[in-house]
Amino acid sequence: MNNETATEHINRDTFNIDLVGTYDMLVMINNEDMKVAEAVKKCIPQIAKAVDIIVRNFLHGGRLFYVGSGTSGRLGVLDASECPPTFSVPPDMVQGIIAGGDRALREAIEGAEDSEEMALYDFDKYDICNTDTVVGISASGNAKYVCKFLQVAKIKKCKTIVITSNPDAKLKEYADCFICAETGAEAISGSTRMKAGTAQKMILNMLSTAAMVKIGKTYHNLMIDVKPTNSKLKRRAVTIVSEICGCREMTARNVLESNGYNTKHAVLFILYGLSFEEADNLLKQNQGVLRRIFEG
């Protein structure tokens, strides 16, 4: 067998998965899952290169697009959707595009993965330009929709990144950065929502999180730009402000409630007595990076 369709191979370690009891079945799946982190670890040099590409484009006003079909597309949409509440970035800064559109998030759309015409339409729809980064996600690396999308991105001189589990992926020829987590045969042959999908999720987490850290969306490892849209996140904002300022949580909560739960502004008020407008101006001068203000 060659490496071209490794995720389609028959996994001899789970060959009798339909004969064993529930416990042993789950052990088989878990044993396969444990291989994923090691496969991703081997890709860290390429992932680091990808993060630096994304950050450079962010700093020039560029956006990040995840593009995929089926499971890969859904994972891209998921990671993109989590960036605004986690890091308070605009919704269009990180976007997920799935072949077949929003309907494909819930059901399989016949022919979407193979539609080059749909890829061309979607590329134009999002007005993608050369300051944007396009990440193609495909376990096989051969999905026609994703290949066409990245081919056009290269023509438009966008920076392109590929996430796959196939070292011989066709997408490789369109990639400025090629990330291949070789997760091998799936527990259920061809079910790339399992190991390959888990590897994709891990890599997407690393790309978005590391990029946001590098543009100042955290202070230490605290989610300083959290958007408190519910009671849990409001409690988190209180804890963060209290931790940074060394103040009582009641003090942090009172300040946050008075300023609409703007965490950085609350910190600057408690530590330096700055009004909301003064804090806002200082943050703008420092691209919103709190550490620059503390160390300036």
Residue 50 CB neighbours (<10 A): 28
- Alpha-carbon separation of residue 32 from 40, 88, 89, 201, 210 (angstroms): 14, 36, 36, 16, 27
CB-CB contact of 3 with 165 (8 Å): no
Is 113 labeled as catalytic in the residue annotation? yes
Is 117 labeled as catalytic in the residue annotation? no
Q: Which of 82, 116, 243, 278 is catalytic?
A: 82
Q: Which residue has the tokens 């799935």?
A: 98
- Alpha-carbon separation of residue 162 from 48, 105, 132, 148, 167 (angstroms): 13, 21, 14, 13, 11
Beta-carbon contacts of residue 26 (< 8 Å; ≥ 6 apart): none
Q: Which of 32, 113, 182, 186 is catalytic?
A: 113
Q: Which helix (H) or strand (E) holds 136?
A: strand 133-137
Task: Report which of 101, 100, 121 is spatially closest to residue 111, judged by C-alpha positions.
Answer: 100
Provide the β-strand partners of residue 68.
98, 137
**Token code pair at residue 75:** 């994972």
Residue 121's φ and ψ, nearest 5 degrees, are -60, -45
Q: Which residues are catalytic?
A: 82, 113
